[in-house]
Amino acid sequence: MEYVDAPGIAQGRLEKRRYQSAIASGCLRENTLVILPTGLGKTAVALLVVAEILRRGRKVLMLAPTKPLVDQHSEYFSSMLTEARVGMVNGQMQPAKRKTVVEGSDLVVSTPQSVSNDLDNGVYGLGGFGLVIYDEAHRGTGNYDYVNVARYVPGDAVSMGMTASPGSDLKKIEEVCGNLGLTRIDVRSDDDPDVSPYVHDTYVNRIVVNLPKDLTDISALLRQMLYQDFGDLSAMHLTNPNWPASKKHMLTVQRTLQTRLQGGEKSVTVFRGLSLTSMCIKLLYAIELAETQGMSPLRTFLTKVSESGEDPKGPKADRELVKREEYRRIWQIMDSSDVEHPKVSRIMSLVSRVLNSGESPRILVFAQYRETCDILVEKLSHVENARVTKLIGQANGGLKQREQIEMLDGFRSGDFNVVVSTSVGEEGLDITSTNAVIFYEPVSSEIRTIQRRGRTGRKNDGEVYVLIAAGTMDEAVEDASRKREALMRQRLETLSRDLRRKRPADKTQTDIYGY
């Protein structure tokens, strides 16, 4: 194996890869959005660019969306840069302390909120910086703090964005580039000749399960209620006849009605429409829980509905729901049933098989909801040889960032070999080389699907398992994700070809590391 030999980078540490060097060279010539599949070294590309900017005597700011990711980057650059002073900034520091760190460091790694606030308050400026890096750059839309920081970047500084999955919406990609001052896009895929030698195979396995009768009966009752309420909304001419009874549709109707109410219209149509819309949203959520999550999460949700519905001062929609005959029948089924979703037992079998298939296997299980995570942790803890933990976000009594970091360290060191994670485990974090990733349910977002799948197949071949409940909204979500991902790849390929035609020199000129 050949290693990069460059000023400021530790000897014998960074494997020499032609595509990484070529991308880095392009980033130094022009502000660039780097789109590179997960596991192929976006951070290594950033290291090459950082080392060159530091060699020129300029400072570097690297922004990442979460503190665990900031800690990860800080540790990586501290170990890979031989002469640079690497400083970390976060919101737990006082502004004066952050100023001291920024002024005393060659490379500053931070969450964007802290830097954005400090720049607005004049705590320090970016005058001495020659490079700003935006990790997970697809976040750079709307009012996200990346956008504000970009306004303070000096005109002579280099800007660099990094992402594995920018999404299928070209307008959003253009917005990210405009917001962050990026004028060039470098897109690489697994199939590119200079990338493919470093790509490991990831095998995606689709596993279909059938719902037990109790859950199908509950789903049918919920849908019966939904169609009745949606029909009432349609009869009031409040719905779009070309749209199904989806959450997106209901939220659109709700926003329209709220606008009418705020405009002073206090009609029966507006009030009844809002009540029906609220019931439809709750019923759609209950259907999702019944079909894709299982009895326990559904019972927890409907318990809350019942409590508010039995309160004389509770929401009118809840008070109406709990009086309906279908709702009572749903509770009769739940009270007499001890079934759980068949996905749970299937995941237990998968985990057991993977744990017994090789040396020191590691498994990452993704689930949408925390309660499902709790159920899986409890069940998987009974699987032989499984050392299970969970990774969840900070909100509502979740894991503090320090606890997240400690858990990930335990996974890397082998203290745990199974992690059950919500979406917090999807983005950016180096969750070592996992043997298998299991989706408890598919997700409609192509960005999240790619990020989940990218947690395996990084250093060796990996397996991905996606669990689908037959005849449920799982199938619709899976189909939506597949179409969006195909559209994203098609649009990025087109964009990449267009950019290459405009910049033929990118492929031929010698880069900064001598290829």
Instruction: Tell which residue, 143, 148, 100, 106, has the closest CA to residue 124.
Output: 100
Q: What angle do CA 85, 89, 93 make, to 5 degrees?
A: 125
Find the distance separating the first CA and the last CA of the chain, reported in whole Å: 15
Over residues 141-148, the mean pLDDT reads: 96
Mean pLDDT within 347-355: 94
The residue-averaged pLDDT of 344-366 equals 89
Does the pTM surpass 0.75? The reply is no
Segment 303-332 shows an average pLDDT of 95
Structure tokens, 265:
């219209």
Q: Whole-angstrom Cα distance, residue 308 to residue 279?
A: 13
H helix or E strand, kind and range, residue 290: none
Q: 427 or 146: which carries more pLDDT confidence?
A: 146
* Cα dihedral value 408, 411, 413, 415, nearest 10: 120
For residue 86, the surrounding DSSP H or E stretch is strand 86-89
pLDDT for position 171? 81
pLDDT of residue 164: 81
Tokens 């990586």 found at: 76
- Round to whole Å and give the CA distance between 330 and 316: 20
Give the residue, 242 or 508, on which the prediction is more confident: 242
The mean pLDDT of 59-65, rounded to a whole number, is 96
pLDDT at 507: 42
Number of Cβ within a 10 Å radius of residue 502: 9
Structure tokens at 293: 């999550």
> What's the CA dihedral at 463, 168, 161, 102 to 10 degrees?
-90
Contact (Cβ atoms closer than 8 angstroms) between residue 294 and residue 344: yes
pLDDT number for residue 497: 64
Render pLDDT for 105-143 as a digit per residue (tens, 0 to 9).
999 999 999 999 999 999 999 999 999 999 999 999 999
Token output for 496: 């990449």
CA distance 189 to 164: 10
* Ranges of H-type helices in 160-267: 170-180, 213-235, 247-262
Instruction: Give the chain's mean pLDDT.
Output: 87
- Specify the pLDDT at position 511: 52
State phi, psi for 455 to the nearest 5 degrees.
-75, -10
**Please, what are the domains in the chain?**
18-198 (3.40.50.300), 202-209+341-477+482-489 (3.40.50.300), 213-336 (1.20.1320.20)
Which residue's structure tokens are 């909304």? Answer: 233
- Nearest C-alpha neighbor of 383 from the set 341, 355, 424: 355
Please write the tens of the pLDDT for every residue from 284-305: 999 999 999 999 999 999 999 9
d(CA 306, CA 319): 8
In degrees, rounded to 5, the angle at the alpha carbon of residue 68 between the alpha carbons of residues 41 and 84 is 65
Q: Which residues, at least 6 apart from 197, have a Cβ–Cβ distance to it below 8 Å?
A: none
The per-residue pLDDT for 515 is: 42
